Structure 1
Amino acid sequence: MKAAALLLAGSMALAACASDEDDSASGGSSESSSASGDLRIGLAYDTGGRGDKSFNDSAYAGVEAAIASLGGEVQELSPNDDASNRPELLTQLAEQGFDPVIAVGFAYGDIISDIAADFPDTTFAIIDSTGVDLGEGNVTGLQFAANEGSFLAGVAAALKSTTNYVGFVGGVETPLIQSFEAGFAAGAEAAKPGITVDVKYISPAGDFSGFSDPARGQIVAQGIFDAGADIVYHAAGGSGTGVFEAAAASGKRAIGVDSDQYQTVDDPAQQAVIMTSMLKRVDNAVEAFITDFSEGNVEGGTDITNDLETEGVGLSYSGGFIDDIKTQIDEFAQQIIDGEIEVPTAP
């Protein structure tokens, strides 16, 4: 597989963007950065905004990479605490002439078609949701086979577990995050039949605070470690730092998500417990979309799926903690690519 060879560059880009994070980018605040060129990109973040060292930061890294290559500027907006202003964020970016406008996260899925209808000459993209069947032709869905990458995370957890007990912490109990859970559990079972997979969520469906509450993430993960797990995988956005804190306090291991979190966390104690991360190459997908847009090659009303075959998902190898099981991981990945293993999308 070629995926591992791409990880270091992506990690370095994410680490660089994280170091530039401005804590003011929350609660509806905005930031902008510019370079030469006419490209004007609008970026509406998911809960937590830039600086989550995960999903949002990966999207920002993709925009920055595109600007470095093509020139232009980016305007960033973050939702307020209850995320009730998501429609206003997209509207503001479109009204100000930013094009394309990129919505980071499935939570924009319920409202993006209305905004797209109001601005038919603006090109929109939404991460982790669909651009199909919205009734508009100016929305592209950037999707990821997170279940496939999570399957490999489950394989790694099972092969490294000495207690035959691993855990999963989801940020919000939604179908999208359940696809991470389903893949992880399937991978763990495939690698070590009969292993226990303990699943917990920080908040229920509709309550997006589970993506930005490290304290609650730590409590949930600590309960799983106390019950006997020695490795916990999180798909909880900014709450994942709490999972790392619990792992460090317990002398156990954790698996990050979205970006190479071994490279992006600030705390050496947290870094030491991150044995791998499940990579959703949001940065690559965003950069490719912007490049296509600049070349006039975006077709609205469609979805672009990033999976193992396209190297859109995978595992990180930073720290060398799973180098010894890479052969087994690669074998499972190839079976998925070849269609010999069908990874579930729901628990």
Structure 2
Amino acid sequence: MRRTKFAAVLAAGVLALAGCGDSGSSDDNSNGGGGDGAGSDIKVGLAYDVGGRGDQSFNDSAAAGLDQAKDEFDVQSQESEAEDGEAESAREERLRTFADAGYDPIIAVGFAYGPAVQKVSAEYTDVQFAIIDDSTNTADNVTNLVFAEEQGSFLVGAAAALKTETDHIGFIGGVETPLIQKFQAGYVAGAEAVNPDIQIDVTYLTQPPDFSGFADPARGKTAAQGMYDAGADIVYHAAGGSGGGVFEAASESGNRAIGVDSDQYNTADPSVRDAIMTSMLKNVNVAVYEYLSDIVNGEEVGGTVTYDLAADGVGYSTSGGFIDDIVEQLDEYKQQIVDGDIEVPTTP
């Protein structure tokens, strides 16, 4: 099954899971009057990737989708997050803990949960699982929620090439995996569509199985500062929580950065806000919310659901007004991608 969903703008809050490695818990149904009780017997388990809620990026976007579902459907929820450097068995046990406690569905945030979801979903065939950023699981009780990150990255790459004053830009990936290479491939393709001769520096903070590159702002700052010192004036990061360091380097050096996943102009520390030119939007919130909406309403789930430019599943932000003068050009590129006139690569 391959489906496409439409996007919306959602808000985030703060939860945690007791007994699964987090501090605190959230299992009440207070929603400010948003729900009607239709989903009050549904218990959602959300397993975050490294960085968890509060990363101002990927995990926070997933949290926003859960928050809206709690508000609208009165579902119960518990949350847990992966620890940097943890063994595969820890991810498996996190999912089993949810299943044993009666949580159904269970949502795993990030491709790193792929093997764990495959193994645990086979043990709990009566529980529904969803995983973000992995499309390899074909079990009937698993829904794969995936995105065309390369398409959104193409647009911010074009934006960087249109706004650079040095014809020199950069890309920082958190961990060099096929998923993050999609961001790189799209960004480079978009920049080169504008200027085939543009100089693009590329670096990754860590290599698998070391996933700390998604949660190391200091390393992100050092990498970005090196690019700025070498002449780049705009750097795009796909590095999760490490992006905070990229923004610091951009702000301190008087340059610009491009955020990822969320509109980071609105989520990053106010002291670096003016350095964030735009963000590549990856609407994980929409995927989580719509999946839970289907569960609550008894809709069929399973298979692979793809969120692309045609569905507004990815895109770019205009907060701060820094790219208002090039929106028309970016939207022309977007239409060419949607129409199939531009095929964006998924590998560098």
Q: TM-score, normalised to structure 1's length?
A: 0.92
Aligned-partner SS, 1:289: helix
Rounded Cα–Cα distance in structure 2 between residues aligned with 1:160 and 1:114: 46
8 Å Cα contact 1:218/1:243 also seen in 2: yes
Unaligned runs of 5+ residues in structure 1 are 1-5
2:332 aligned residue: 331
Aligned to 1:31: 25
Q: Deviations over 1:180-205 (max 9, x none)?
A: 00000000000122111110000012
Shift of 1:170: 0.2
Runs (4 or more) in structure 1 with deviation over 2 Å come to 20-31
Question: CA separation in 1, counterparts of 2:193 and 2:159?
Answer: 11
Residue 83 of structure 1: CA displacement? 2.8
**Alignment partner, residue 275 of structure 1:** 277
Question: Could you tell me how far apart the structure 1 residues matched to 2:300 and 2:229 are?
Answer: 49
Distance 1:59 1:40 in 2: 16
Q: CA deviation at 1:259?
A: 0.3
* Structure 1 residue 29 displacement after superposition: 4.6
- Structure 1 pair 23/298, CA: closer, same or farther in 2 (3 Å)? closer
User: Which stretch shows the higher mean deviation, 274-283 or 123-132?
Assistant: 123-132
State the shift of 1:82 in Å: 1.8
Equivalent in the alignment of 1:322: 323
How far apart, in 2, do the equivalents of 1:224 and 1:27 lie? Answer: 37
CA distance in 1 between partners of 2:238 and 2:300 (Å): 30
Q: Cα offset for 1:26?
A: 9.3
Contact (CA 8 Å) 2:16, 2:78: kept in 1 or not? Answer: no
2:146–2:306 Cα contact (<8 Å) kept: yes
Q: Is the 8 A contact 2:15 2:79 kept in 1?
A: no
Distance across 2 between alignment mates of 1:117 and 1:298: 19
Count the aligned residue pairs.
331
Any conservation in 1 of the 2:16–2:80 contact (CA below 8 Å)? Answer: no
Structure 1 residue 323, shift from structure 2 partner: 0.7
Give yes or no for the alignment of 1:104 onto 2:109.
yes
Partner residue of 1:130? 135
SS in 2 for 1:117: helix
CA–CA separation in structure 2 for the residues paired with 1:91 and 1:23: 14
Q: Which amino acid aligns with 2:307?
A: N
For residues 198-237 of structure 1, the aligned pairs below 5 Å read: 198-237=201-240
| Partners of 1:166 and 1:197 within 8 A in 2 | yes
Shift of 1:212: 0.3
After superposition, the Cα gap between the structure-2 partners of 1:281 and 1:330, relative to the gap in structure 1 and judged at 3 Å, is same
1:95 and 2:103 are equivalent in the alignment? no
After TM superposition, the score normalised by the length of structure 2 is 0.91
| Structure 1 residue 332 displacement after superposition | 0.1
Q: What is residue 243 of structure 1 aligned with on the other side?
A: 246
Q: For 1:195 and 1:331, locate their aligned partners in 2 and report how far apart those are by CA, in whole Å.
A: 20
Cα distance change, pair 127–315 in 1 and its aligned pair in 2 (3 A): same
1:141-176 CA-to-partner distances (Å, cap 9, x unmatched) read 000000000000101110000000000000000000
Correspondence list, 1:63-82, <5 A: 63-82=66-85
CA RMSD, aligned part only?
A: 1.8
Tell me how far apart the structure 1 counterparts of residues 194 and 326 of structure 2 sit (CA, whole Å): 11
* Pairs within 5 Å for 1:284-299: 284-299=286-301
The aligned counterpart of 2:34 is: none
Cα distance, 1:132 vs. partner?
3.9
